[in-house]
Amino acid sequence: MISASNSPDAALPEPQGNYSSAIIKVIGFIFAVTLAVVALLHSVGMSMKWSETGSHIVGSFVYSTLIALPSMFLVKWITLRFYGKFARLLVLMQLSALFFTATAGCLLAGLIFILIGVRTPDGYWQEFRSSFEFAVIITLLIGMSSATYETMRYKLQATTLELRTRQVEQERAYKLLAEARLSSLESRIHPHFLFNTLNSIAALIPRDPQLAEDTVGKLASLLRFSLNANQSGLAPLSQELKIVRDYLEIEKTRFGPRLRYEIAIPEALQDANVPPLALQSLVENAVKHVVSERSQGATIHIHGSAESGRILLEVSDDGPGFSLDSITPEHGLGNLIARLDLLFGGAGQLEVARENDRTVVRLSFPA
């Protein structure tokens, strides 16, 4: 059984980068913002002498650094961590984080000014009140602008990564389909198969020319389909069934009564899309490993049904059975499992079971 899952609630992928260079860029941005803030205070007529501009720049830079650096990392962490889980609450969480860092930064800046002797302890709360409101407004304005930009950038990176992943998976699916077609073609032109078929045709010519001619047509059809399987990764079930019948009839000229088969596919399923050579691979596996290896041959039953929006195709035989654990990726069924995984993810399944002394290989996927 194969499975795959893609969770829509997954967090955004963290961009790869150097944190030290990011910090240097942020500090440079902080210094530019500091100069802009001081210039703004001058322009709105704040009581500030130009001779005190240097000290105001240093003070504003301390405030900005203590607020901006924690804001950057905290908001980034919240965005990466909770985007998929709490997308609707993300803005509120970012605002809360920015308010917290603005408050903590103002408190810490005042404490630093006291420790270095620039402010007295008596003026601590006055310093806090005079800086807090302005710091919160600037932090929210710049912080939310930056957070919005970063969120959009991360979403763009995630979308780009998803598109690239899908492109790689699609290319791999086409490659696997090409390998399946090549493997099918190789099995058709394998000397044993080809020579046995040609010998059977030669034996039929004198006693049943029409059957010999039909067998040649079936062989040509089989080879042509192996080369021209649908490039989209899916083919109509009616077309797949024709190839299965042609293959079984060709093999029946070799094995005669040792090969017995029954096909029970509802007419309503004829237009359903299936992976090309999927059902044929299951039938070929039964012929190769059961019919050809037993003197009494085998009876192959091919059934199809639709249940709860899914297509179920079954190939059963009265052979000893096998386990999917023994199937290698190079095997025809291994290739089929890989293609199911790429085409349908966890919704595509291949199972082997023993039911009523018969081996049942069951293929199911979304209709």
DSSP string over 55-73: HHHHHHHHHHHHHHHHHHH
163 shares a domain with 27: yes
CA-nearest of 274, 271, 262 to 230 is: 274
Domains: count for the chain: 2
Of 98, 133, 167, the residue at which a domain comes to its end is: 167
% of the chain surpassing 70 pLDDT: 75
pLDDT at 331: 66
Q: Give me the helices (H) in the chain, please.
A: 19-43, 53-82, 90-115, 124-188, 191-207, 209-227, 237-255, 278-286, 332-344
Assess if residue 3 is contained within a domain.
no
- CATH number for position 279: 3.30.565.10
272 and 233, same structural domain? yes
Q: CA angle at residue 282 from 240 to 269, to 5 degrees?
A: 40
Q: How far apart are CA 131 and CA 61, in angstroms?
A: 13
CB 241 within 8 A of CB 277: no
Contact 288, 320 (CB under 8 A): no
The answer to whether residues 67 and 136 belong to one domain is yes
Rounded Cα–Cα distance for residues 220 and 214 (Å):
10
Q: What six digits make up the tokens of 335? A: 């290739």
Residue 1 lies in a domain: no
98 domain-assigned: yes
Same domain, 286 and 355: yes
Q: Output 279 or 162, whichever has higher pLDDT.
A: 279
Do 235 and 337 lie in one domain? The reply is yes
What the block records as the tokens of 91 is 């803005």
Quick check: is 45 in a domain?
Answer: yes
- Determine the straight-line distance between the first and last CA of the chain, rounded to whole angstroms: 18
Instruction: Tell me, yes or no, whether 78 and 134 share the same domain.
Output: yes
Query: Is 10 within a domain?
Result: no
Q: Which of 133, 167, 201 is the last residue of a domain?
A: 167
Q: What is the 3-state secondary structure (H, E, C) of 227-277?
A: HCCCCCCCEEHHHHHHHHHHHHHHHHHHHHHHEEEEEECCHHHCCCEECCC
263-318: per-residue pLDDT in tens? 999 998 988 888 887 888 888 888 888 888 888 888 999 999 988 889 999 999 98
Task: Let me know whether 288 and 338 are in one domain.
Answer: yes
pLDDT higher than threshold 60 for residue 107: yes
Both 103 and 29 in a single domain?
Answer: yes
* Sign of the alpha-carbon dihedral angle for 135, 136, 141, 146: positive
- For 130-162, b where at least 16 C-beta lie within 10 A, e where not — what string? ebbebbbebbbebbeebbeebbeebeeebeeee
**8-57: pLDDT as tens digits:** 444 445 544 455 666 676 677 777 766 776 676 666 555 445 445 566 66
What domain range is 240 assigned to? 189-366
pLDDT over threshold 60, residue 190? no
By the 8 A CB rule, do 219 and 200 touch? no
Query: Has residue 11 been placed in a domain?
Result: no
What confidence tens digit (pLDDT) does each residue in 307-358 have? 888 999 999 998 887 777 776 666 667 777 877 877 787 888 888 888 888 9
137 and 223 both lie in a single domain: no
Q: Determine, yes or no, domain membership for 5.
A: no
Q: Give the pLDDT confidence score for residue 254 in this predicted structure.
A: 81
The more confidently predicted of residues 244 and 116 is 244
Whether 244 shows a pLDDT value over 50: the answer reads yes
pLDDT band at 4 (very low <50, low <70, confident <90, very high): very low
Q: Are residues 197 and 342 in the same domain?
A: yes
In this structure, are 193 and 312 located in the same domain? yes
Q: Does a structural domain hold residue 305?
A: yes
* Average pLDDT over every residue of 180-201: 62
Structure tokens at 181: 């077609």
pTM: 0.49
Which pLDDT value is given to residue 54?
Answer: 62
Q: Are residues 130 and 229 in the same domain?
A: no
